[in-house]
Structure 1
Amino acid sequence: MTTVLIVDDQALQRLGFSMLMEQYADMAVVGEATHGAEAVRRTADLRPDVVLMDVRMPGMDGIEATRRIVESGGNSRILVLTTFDLDEYAYAALRAGASGFLLKDAQPDELIAGIRAVAAGDAVIAPGLTRRLIDAFSDRFPGRTPDQERRLASLTQREREVLTAVASGWSNPEIAERLSLADSTVKTHVSHVLAKIGARDRVQAVIFAYDTGLVKPA
């Protein structure tokens, strides 16, 4: 069972999401919140698997709420919903620790698949869309920090190659084919990369690769 907290300041939007999830036996809406501060409190109390997070809300927005939830160290993962696929608020939310984002006009099956993917520890942003997002805001990268330098240096040459491939939008089968590796080996490398750089998922790994200059915006 995947538990979900719905965060949106629009009552009809919350109702629509709730009614959709009620149709699936493996999902349960455990609560709702109307703004960021309430989302932080309710996440701490309810510990949902996934927080379905709106961005633009009165008071504390979804970006700050995402940052606080992630920094709390809990296991709840954040799936951000936004109106535009290159919305800078969604970009900021990813930097704050969200596991991905979907458009609010996504098809119902896409939303459900996204929630399941995030709950399973995966990202839900298509690699091409991730690169478009990062390319659009590449001038905001602050440059490599000493901590990032240390984490990058901890990677083996093969792990750097795998991280570069992930950041370039390659799937695991594509990485396996292009680097002449077994699928299981690629999965192992990806897991090691995520652990060494401190990334929660592939989205955060992509951002790390751009932040450190390992991959350059197109």
Structure 2
Amino acid sequence: MTTEVRARQRSDARDNRERILAVARAAFAMDGLGVPIREIARRAEVGAATVYRHFTTKEALLAEVFADQMASCAEIVRRGLAADDPWRGLCLVVEQLMAVHALDRGFARAFTSRMSEPAEFAAERDRTLASLLELVRQAKDAGSLREDFVLEDINLALLANEGIRADTPEMRLAASRRFAALMLRSFQAHPVWTPLPPAVRLPPAQG
């Protein structure tokens, strides 16, 4: 096999990998984690075997697809933990995490689930959740966060936030901001009345 042929094969493999990632990222963001590998392959115009050559399991594909979002969430929580006031730090975290998840249905599931993803992805998520738990403890110690609050309440808010349906990403973000404000008011130990962000007209819920 000539050097030129090998170089072309490597280039084709890189192109396939990038196309698979791009298609998977769009599919999981729009339709959630349930999109099967065969559908990812069809949209990427490759065979399922090609997908598995690059990503041995669906979980490995998910981890690669969501690596940037996971890093972004970790940074959001670090900034919240570094805030002078733990309540304001927690507000920042909830508002910004919900904004990230409002634009990506798949990542909300990946972040809150316990799927058997590669160890590096799981370790980063677990570190982020541990930091978030520390921020929750600090907010409770400061008397700002209600004592019966548990970390799963944030997971619940994120999964509910995932269900927002709107015509545009901008409308989803606006609806997410209002929902985050409502959630934070319910989390606060002594709620203080403040105006909510503007309401957004959403499609009627489907029965």
TM-score by length of 1: 0.27
Greater helix proportion: 2
The structure with more radius of gyration: 2
Instruction: State the structure with bigger RCO (CA 8 A, min sep 6), 1 or 2.
Output: 2
Greater strand proportion: 1
TM-score by length of 2: 0.28
